[in-house]
């Protein structure tokens, strides 16, 4: 086969081409990127019911030494549930050594590291003085990793009082628990217990290693917070931004009924905007449009949801003097966030009220914020949209063969009308496992097709981004992690090959191949920001099970290709079903080598099931 590249510029690929989609799924935020160690910190997981579901808290002691219940005495109006402990042990009924109390294992174990500091905050009141021990202990053997006492001495703490302690770990344990214990008899109430490592990205609360993995993708946009998570199975469980902002202690939390877990909403609307800013990405806010998986608000009654969305935009980008902008300012961000793109709902086009509701949101947002780009859920790739929009959402989850074939999906789509935002794509199910090479190779071909059609495909992001391997709600995902480890799936590495594409120049490329239908290729010209040098990046996918010989011929270059400084990156593996894992995190990673044979006319060899990127220095 021969690949002919025409080095004369065709057009610029959008600056926002490659981005990231973050959904609160698989504990991406709660128990993942959001570094909070305590799970169910307000004992609220059962909602406002009493007794509430205090899982995963457990009780230290037995019925003869401690009685634990929940009541509605919290000082926080939006989350009234508090935990009450009646400590029964005393001199005649001695407490176990270490006392009695409660223990929280976080999200499948807390990662406590020697020499690191942790801030523990909680609210307490008692029927007298307080004498509590706060400690991190190894969950299996109970060894103390860090500990501190909080005492009020002779002062009674009969009103809710904020307690804060910073403790330094003396040992490392990746599966630790937080314990709050006492040996003093009487009543103690606890509420809003938080434990955060001091060492988070810029102190913004993001787990540093996971932040870095997203940052390394150099996403140009950041779509959040879902996905189905935004919709909810039922509206009562949908993500509603107003419940996720302001002081963390006052956030009610909510049960995400699509992915089936409680979230304390430490990672809320503000944190999503902050994360986008920290990543240098444009936020793309997806809000609920009055539609969940199973219930809908009629268009005639949608006004409160429209106001909620407008208020959300004001929160993000209103002046610090505005009603909602002032709340953002009080949270430490007086400067408006750069919110320019919003999506009205997620995957709701076929719902009864979608179009009616959509138009209400669209008109209101256009009127108040004419510069904001608005995304419709309806697929404009098959038929023109029957409603106004700047972009339309396109989602695809399919098998590898079909994903490969979709590299031509946008070739014949109309060049008029709103542009596509491919905000979710992935090979899934059998072909994908938890992240196979096969899936990644097919996705690379799909991305090549998007790149070539980037005159009508503005933005693209893989989905889902994260999975806590202890609770895989959806697989595969780009990044897998647990309390202290992480690894990239091949699909992550494929995205990395497209990082230079955002803002690059697309070149014409033609594959001349009589019979081989398993190749896909594209070419761009870009400037490497690290050394300011210009490169051609030629990406070729071989989706076949045979080695391929390919002649690459570059036409019309002003200067010669330089051999020294030209490189080759190959992503492949001996077996298409291979995956990375915690035990073998680097099994499938891009292999970088120098390209000695770099030239305008070169013969290259493509391994079976591989993605190869040729970077020619020009
Ligand atoms: O990415 C996982 C889910 O797939 C998203 O929540 C939803 O938008 C899609 O159905």
What integer is the mean pLDDT of 22-38?
A: 98
- Distance separating alpha carbons of residues 313 and 321, to the nearest angstrom: 14
This complex has an ipTM of 0.99
527: tokens are 């400037």
Q: Is 473 in the pocket of ligand 1 (CB under 6 A)?
A: no
Q: Do domains 2-12+504-617 and 58-197 have the same CATH topology?
A: no
**Token pair 């025409």: residue:** 6
Pocket lining: 178 vs ligand 1, CB cutoff 6 Å = no
Alpha carbon of 229 to ligand 1 centroid (Å): 8
**Greatest extent of the chain over all pairs of C-alpha atoms, in Å:** 93
- Helix/strand/coil for 12: strand
CA of 227 to the centre of ligand 1 (A): 5
Please tell me the residue having the least CA distance from ligand 1 atom 7: 227
Q: Ligand 1 centre from 194 Cα, in Å? A: 30
| Residue 239, SS3 per DSSP | coil
Which of 25, 230, 393, 465 should be mutated for ligand 1, with most atoms under 8 A from CB?
25
Tokens representing residue 53 in the block? 């579901």
CA–CA distance, 558 with 294 (Å, rounded to integer): 59
Does the beta carbon of 228 sit less than 6 angstroms from any atom of ligand 1? yes
Q: Please, which residues bridge with residue 254 across strands? A: 263
Ligand 1 pocket check for 347: Cβ under 6 Å? yes
- Spatial contact of 126 and 156, defined as CB atoms under 8 Å apart: yes
* pLDDT, tens digit, 9 for 90 and up, residues 76-92: 999 999 999 999 999 99
In this predicted model, what pLDDT tens digit does every residue of 385-435 receive, in sequence order? 999 999 999 999 999 999 999 999 999 999 999 999 999 999 999 999 999
The tokens for 138 are: 């190894």
CA of 386 to the centre of ligand 1 (A): 24
- Determine the Cα angle at 443 with ends 442 and 445, to 5°: 70
Pocket residue to mutate for ligand 1, from 23, 396, 421, most atoms within 8 A of Cβ: 23
Rounded to whole angstroms, how far apart are CA atoms 358 and 65? Answer: 58
Do the Cβ atoms of 188 and 130 come closer than 8 Å?
Answer: yes
From the alpha carbon of 23, which atom of ligand 1 is closest? 6
* pLDDT tens per residue across span 555-605: 999 889 998 999 999 999 999 999 999 999 999 999 999 998 999 999 999
**Beta carbons of 239 and 30 less than 8 angstroms apart:** no
Hey, where are the domains in the chain?
Answer: 2-12+504-617, 58-197, 220-377
At 326 the pLDDT is 98
- Among protein residues, the one with the nearest Cα to ligand 1's atom 5 is 227
Query: Looking at ligand 1, which atom is closest to the CA of residue 346?
Result: 8
pLDDT-derived band of residue 43, with 50, 70 and 90 as boundaries?
very high
How many Å lie between the centroid of ligand 1 and the Cα of residue 25?
Answer: 9
C-beta of 346 in contact with ligand 1 (< 6 A): yes
Res 488 pLDDT > 90: yes
The pLDDT score that the predictor gives to residue 558 is 85
Q: Take atom 3 of ligand 1 and give the residue whose Cα is closest.
A: 227
Measured in Å, residue 615 CA sits from the centre of ligand 1 at: 34
Closest Cα to residue 589, out of 603, 604, 572? 572
Query: Global pTM?
Result: 0.97
User: Average per-residue pLDDT in the chain?
Assistant: 97
Residue-by-residue DSSP string for 435-502: TBHHHHHHHHHHHHHHHHTTTTEEEE--S--EEETTS-SS---SEEE-SS-EEE-HHHHHHHHTGGGT
Mean pLDDT of 20-29: 98
Distance 370 CA to ligand 1 centre (A): 29
Nearest to 553 by CA among 129, 39, 4, 123: 4
> What is the CATH topology of the domain spanning 2-12+504-617?
Immunoglobulin-like (2.60.40)
Which residue owns the Cα nearest ligand 1 atom 4? Answer: 227
163 has pLDDT over 70: yes
How many residues would you count in the chain?
A: 618
Task: Collapse the DSSP code of 561 into the 3-class scheme (helix H, G, I; strand E, B; otherwise coil) and give the result.
Answer: coil
DSSP class of 103: E
Which of 233, 463, 475 best tests ligand 1's pocket when mutated (most atoms within 8 Å of CB)?
Answer: 463
Taking CA atoms, 94 is separated from 98, 237, 422, 474, in Å, by 11, 45, 63, 48
> 578 near 587, Cβ under 8 Å?
yes
Q: Which CATH number fits domain 220-377: 3.20.20.80, 3.40.50.300, 1.25.40.10, 3.40.50.720?
A: 3.20.20.80
H/E segment holding residue 359: helix 354-368
In angstroms, what is the span from residue 36 Cα to ligand 1's centroid? 25
For the segment(s) 58-197, the CATH number from 3.40.50.1100, 2.60.120.260, 1.20.120.80, 1.20.200.10 is 2.60.120.260
Q: Is 23 in the pocket of ligand 1 (CB under 6 A)?
A: yes
pLDDT tens-digit series, residues 122-149: 999 999 999 999 999 999 899 999 999 9
- For ligand 1, the distance from its centroid to the CA atom of residue 228, given in whole angstroms, is 6
Q: For tokens 């870095």, what's the residue? A: 212
Q: Is the CB of 226 under 6 A from ligand 1?
A: yes
- For 421-470, write each residue's pLDDT tens digit: 999 999 999 999 999 999 999 999 999 999 999 999 999 999 999 999 99
Q: Is 173 exposed, middle or buried (0-12, 13-18, 19+ CB in 10 A)?
A: buried
Instruction: Give the nearest ligand 1 atom to 464 CA.
Output: 1
What whole-number distance in Å separates Cα of residue 6 and Cα of residue 557? 8
Per-residue confidence (pLDDT) for residue 200, from 0 to 100: 98
At 196-224, the pLDDT tens digits run 999 999 999 999 999 999 999 999 999 99
Cβ proximity of 253 and 45 under 8 Å: yes
Please report, rounded to a whole number, the percentage of residues in the chain having pLDDT higher than 90: 96
> Residue 514: its pLDDT value, please?
63
DSSP type of residue 229: H
* Ligand 1 in reach of 109 Cβ (< 6 A): no
| CB of 463 shorter than 6 A to ligand 1 | yes
Q: If you take atom 8 of ligand 1, which residue's CA is the nearest one? A: 227
User: Ligand 1 centroid vs 538 CA: distance in angstroms?
Assistant: 31
Give 544 Cα–ligand 1 centroid separation in angstroms: 29
Distance CA 191, CA 102 (A): 12
Pair of tokens at residue 215: 């940052």
């Amino acid at each position: 086969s021969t690949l002919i590249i025409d080095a004369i510029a065709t057009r610029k690929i959008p600056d926002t081409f490659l981005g990231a989609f973050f959904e609160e799924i698989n504990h991406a935020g709660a128990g993942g990127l959001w570094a909070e160690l305590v799970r169910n910190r307000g004992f609220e997981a059962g909602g406002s019911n009493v007794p509430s579901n205090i899982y995963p808290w457990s009780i230290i002691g037995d019925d003869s030494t401690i009685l634990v219940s929940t009541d509605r005495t919290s000082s926080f109006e939006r989350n009234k549930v508090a935990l009450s402990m009646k400590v029964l042990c005393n001199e005649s009924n001695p407490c176990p050594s270490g006392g009695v109390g409660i223990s929280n294992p976080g999200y499948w174990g807390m990662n406590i590291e020697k020499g690191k500091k942790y801030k523990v905050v909680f609210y307490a009141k008692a029927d007298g003085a307080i004498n509590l021990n706060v400690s991190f202990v190894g969950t299996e053997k109970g060894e103390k990793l860090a500990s501190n006492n909080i005492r009020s001495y002779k002062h009674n703490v009969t009103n809710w009082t904020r307690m804060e302690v910073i403790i330094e770990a003396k040992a490392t344990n990746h599966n630790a628990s937080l314990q709050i214990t006492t040996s003093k008899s009487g009543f103690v109430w606890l509420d809003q217990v938080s434990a955060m490592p001091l060492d988070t990205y810029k102190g913004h609360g993001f787990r540093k290693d996971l932040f870095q993995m997203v940052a390394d993708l150099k996403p140009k946009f950041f779509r959040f917070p879902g996905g189905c998570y935004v919709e909810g199975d039922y509206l009562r469980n949908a993500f509603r931004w107003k419940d996720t902002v302001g002081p963390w202690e006052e956030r009610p939390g909510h049960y995400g009924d699509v992915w089936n877990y409680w979230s304390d909403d430490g990672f809320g609307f503000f944190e999503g905007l902050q994360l986008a800013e920290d990543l240098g990405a444009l936020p793309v806010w997806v809000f609920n449009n009055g539609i969940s998986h199973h219930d809908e608000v009629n268009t005639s009654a949608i006004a409160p949801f429209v106001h909620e969305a407008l208020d959300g935009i004001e929160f993000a980008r209103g002046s610090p003097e505005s009603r909602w902008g002032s709340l953002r300012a009080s949270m430490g961000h007086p400067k408006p966030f750069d919110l320019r793109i919003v999506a009205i709902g997620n995957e709701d086009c076929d719902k009864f009220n979608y179009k009616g509701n959509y138009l209400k949101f669209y008109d209101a947002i256009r009127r108040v914020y004419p510069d904001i780009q608005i995304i419709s859920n309806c697929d404009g790739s098959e038929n023109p949209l029957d409603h106004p929009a700047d972009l339309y959402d396109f989602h695809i989850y399919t098998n590898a063969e079909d994903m490969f074939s979709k590299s031509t999906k946008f070739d014949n789509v109309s060049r008029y009308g709103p542009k596509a935002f491919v905000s979710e794509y992935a090979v899934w199910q059998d072909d994908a496992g938890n992240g196979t090479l096969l899936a990644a190779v097919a996705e690379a071909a799909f991305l090549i097709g998007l790149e070539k059609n980037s005159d009508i495909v503005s933005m693209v992001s893989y989905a889902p981004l994260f999975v806590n391997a202890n609770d895989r709600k959806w697989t595969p995902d780009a990044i897998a992690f647990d309390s202290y480890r992480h690894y990239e799936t091949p699909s992550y590495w494929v995205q990395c090959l497209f990082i230079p594409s955002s803002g690059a120049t697309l070149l014409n490329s033609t594959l001349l191949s009589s019979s081989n239908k398993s190749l896909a290729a594209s070419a761009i010209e870009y400037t490497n920001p690290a050394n300011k040098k210009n490169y051609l990046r030629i990406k070729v996918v071989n989706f076949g099970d045979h080695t391929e010989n390919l002649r690459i011929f570059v036409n019309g270059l002003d200067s010669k290709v330089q051999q020294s400084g030209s490189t080759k990156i190959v992503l492949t593996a001996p077996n298409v079903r291979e995956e990375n894992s915690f035990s073998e995190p680097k099994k499938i990673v891009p292999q970088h080598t120098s390209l000695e044979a770099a030239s305008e006319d070169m013969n290259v060899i493509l391994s079976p099931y591989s993605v190869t990127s040729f970077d020619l220095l020009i």
